[in-house]
Amino acid sequence: MRRGQEPIHVVGDNVQVIEQHRRRKTPTAPHLKPIHWRCRRMTTRMMIQGWHHQSRDTNLMANQLANMAIDGGSSRQARLEGDTTVRQHWEHVTRYMEADLAPWIVNMENTAQEDAVAASQSGRRQEMGRRKPGPGRRGS
C-alpha cells in the first residue's frame, strides 16, 4: 500500500470495458489498445479494490458527462475546490452524483457488513479451536 493512498472502487457503465479491466484483457480493436494500456498503466499505480458495472440509466452523472464530451467535441478535467466558475459549469453534473451513488453505497455497505459477520464467525470458530482445556474439557 502506498503511503496516504486508500483503495478505490471503479464504477463504469460499459460492461465490456469493466470486464476487460477486471480480467486484464486487452481489447481487440487496434484504436482502443493505446487507450487501454494508458489506463492500465495508471491503474497499476492505484489500489483498485474492484471494478463494478452500473447501467447508464442509473448513472445519470456519467451520462451527462458523456453528453458534454460529445457536444463539446472533447473531454475535460477540473478541480471543483474554490473556482466558482468551474463549479457552475459542472453543477448540472454533480447534482446527479448523490442519487447515482446511493444504491451502490448501500450495496457496498451491506456487502461489507456481510463480510464482517462472516469474518467474525470465522474468527470465533478459530478462537474456539485454540481454547485451552479447562474443567470438564479434554486437551488434544
pLDDT tens digits for range 15-32? 999 999 999 999 999 999
Whether this model's pTM surpasses 0.75 = no
Which range is most confident: 27-41, 53-67, 81-95? 27-41
More confident residue, 14 or 1: 14
Q: Residue 105 pLDDT more than 90?
A: no
C-alpha grid cell, residue 80: 471543483
Averaged over 92-114, what is the pLDDT?
77
Q: From CA 114, how far away is CA 116, in angstroms rounded? A: 5
Q: Residue 87 pLDDT more than 70?
A: no
SS3 state of residue 132: coil
Burial class of residue 59 in the structure, from the number of CB atoms within 10 Å of its CB (0-12 exposed, 13-18 middle, 19+ buried): buried
Q: From CA 63, how far away is CA 56, in angstroms rounded? A: 6
